Structure 1
Amino acid sequence: MTETLDEGPFFHGTIADLRAGDLLVAGYRSNYRPEMVMNHIYFTALVDGAGLAAEIAAELAGVGTPRVYEVKPTGPYENDPNVTDKKFPGNPTRSYRSSAPLKVMGEVTEWTRLTPEALEMWRERLARLKADSSAQIIN
C-alpha cells in the first residue's frame, strides 16, 4: 500500500480549458522546456501554487487564460523532486507528481493572481531559464 503524503485537496494550474471528469495525463511537452516530454503530471495542495503554475504557463505560451482546477490523483504519487530534493527539504510547497492520471473535479476561480511587478520578475526568471541550457527539470 502506498503511503499517503497529503490529504489534499489538490490543484493543477494550466491554460487548458477542462471539464469535471476530464483526465490529465503524462506524456505532453513541458511548459518550461518544450523540447521535453514529461513522464509525470504535477500538482500541489496549495491553490496559489497552482495559480502561479497557471500564470507561468500562460506567460510561456503567449496565449491562453490561466486556469486552476481541483484534481484527484487516480494512482500513487510522490513528492516533486524538482522542488523538494534540495530547494525545499520536507516539501513545504506541498508539490507532487504522478505518472497516473489526475481526475479534474472542477475549476477553481478564487486564487491569488500575480501583481504586475511579480509577473515581470517571473518573465525575467523564465528568460534566464531559457538561456541556461544547463538548467535541469526532472521529468
Structure 2
Amino acid sequence: MEFNPNNPVIQRCMQGMELAEKDQSEAAASVFLQAWNEAGNDFEKFIAAHFVARHQQDARNKLTWLHAALEHGLSVNSDAVKSALPSLYTNMAQCYTALGDADNEKKYHRLAVLAGAQLPDKGPFYHGTRADLQPGDLLVAGGISNYQSDVVMNHIYFTGLVNGAGLAAALAKGNGPERVYIVEPTGSFENDPNVTDKKFPGNPTRSYRSTAPLKITGEVADWDRLTPEQLRQWREKLANNKGAIIN
C-alpha cells in the first residue's frame, strides 16, 4: 500500500489540516473523524486514526486512537507505516506517562528506539526532473530548489514512489518534457526532514536525501501524470508556502 495524495481519504485529511492551520480545531476534528468513517482499508484507517488522535485533548482518548492507528498500520506491509512507527510509539509512551503507567511508558519508548533502528528503504528509487539524462549519469547536490529559487540545495533528493517523482518532474524548472529516472544512491541517505512527521505520520511519501550522488540506472515512462488543474493547484500551494526549507 502506497501513499497517494489523490486518494479521497488522504484528501479529506488534507482538508482537515488546512482547517487546523486556520485554528479551526473543532471543524478539523470533525473532518478527520469523517475521514475515519470513509476509510475503506487498513492504510486509510491508519492515516485517519493518526489525525483523530492528534486532536484528542484527553490522554486516554488519544491513546485509544493511537492504538487503532497501530493496529491498522501493522495489518499492511508498508514502508510508509514503518517510517511512522518511531513517532507513533513515542506518542503512545507520552500518553502512558500522562496516565501514570510507567511500565507501558518504558515499553513504548523501547519500541520507538527499536523501530527507529530498522534498516532503511531498499527501493527501487526514483528522481523526477526535466533534464535529459542517460544511464550512468550522476545527479549531484548543489542545484537550485524547485520550491525556493534563492536556495542552493546541499542534498540531492529522491523517492521510493514513482508518482512522487512524477510530481517532482511536473514541478521542476525548465521547458523540457517531464522525466522520471530510476536512481541508485552511491552513499548513505536519510529521511527528508522537510516532510517527515511534518504533516502526515512518518515519511509516507518515502522521500529521502543524500549528499552523495545518485546514479541513473534507467527511466520510467508510466506514472500518474497531473492534470493541468492539479498542477495549477500544486504550484499555488508552493507559492503560498512560507516555511523555510531544512537544507
TM-score (norm 1): 0.87
Structure 1: state its 5+ residue gaps.
none
Q: Residue 13 of structure 1 corresponds to which residue in structure 2?
A: 128
| Whole-Å separation in 2 of the counterparts to 1:86 and 1:39 | 20
| Whole-Å separation in 2 of the counterparts to 1:72 and 1:113 | 23
Bigger radius of gyration, 1 or 2? 2
| Whole-Å separation in 2 of the counterparts to 1:32 and 1:98 | 18
Considering fraction of residues, name the structure with more strand: 1
Following superposition, the deviation at residue 91 of structure 1 comes to 1.0
Give 2:143's match in structure 1, choosing from 18, 21, 28.
Answer: 28
Greater CA drift, 84-93 or 13-22: 84-93
| Whole-Å separation in 2 of the counterparts to 1:126 and 1:90 | 21
What amino acid is aligned across from residue 122 of structure 2 in structure 1? E
Considering fraction of residues, name the structure with more helix: 2
* Structure 1 residues 88 and 48, CA gap change in structure 2 (3 angstroms): same
Q: Residue 196 of structure 2 corresponds to which residue in structure 1?
A: 84
CA shift digits 1:67-97 (9 cap, x unpaired): 1000000000000001004223321111100
Matched, 1:138 2:246: yes
Q: Residue 104 of structure 1 corresponds to which residue in structure 2?
A: 216
Greater RCO structure (CA 8 Å; 6+ sep):
1
**Equivalent residue of 1:53, what SS?**
helix
Following superposition, the deviation at residue 28 of structure 1 comes to 1.6
Structure 2: state its 5+ residue gaps.
1-116
Following superposition, the deviation at residue 114 of structure 1 comes to 0.3
Q: Residue 69 of structure 1 corresponds to which residue in structure 2?
A: 181
What amino acid is aligned across from residue 81 of structure 1 in structure 2? P
**Equivalent residue of 1:96, what SS?**
strand
TM-score (norm 2): 0.50
Calculate percent identity across the aligned residue pairs: 68
Q: Residue 227 of structure 2 corresponds to which residue in structure 1?
A: 115
Answer yes or no: is the 8 Å Cα contact 2:128–2:168 preserved in 1. yes
Q: Residue 169 of structure 2 corresponds to which residue in structure 1?
A: 54
Q: Residue 24 of structure 2 corresponds to which residue in structure 1?
A: none
Following superposition, the deviation at residue 3 of structure 1 comes to 6.4
* Structure 1 residues 63 and 125, CA gap change in structure 2 (3 angstroms): same
What amino acid is aligned across from residue 102 of structure 1 in structure 2? L
Task: Say what the alpha-carbon RMSD is for the aligned residues.
Answer: 1.6
| Whole-Å separation in 2 of the counterparts to 1:124 and 1:62 | 18
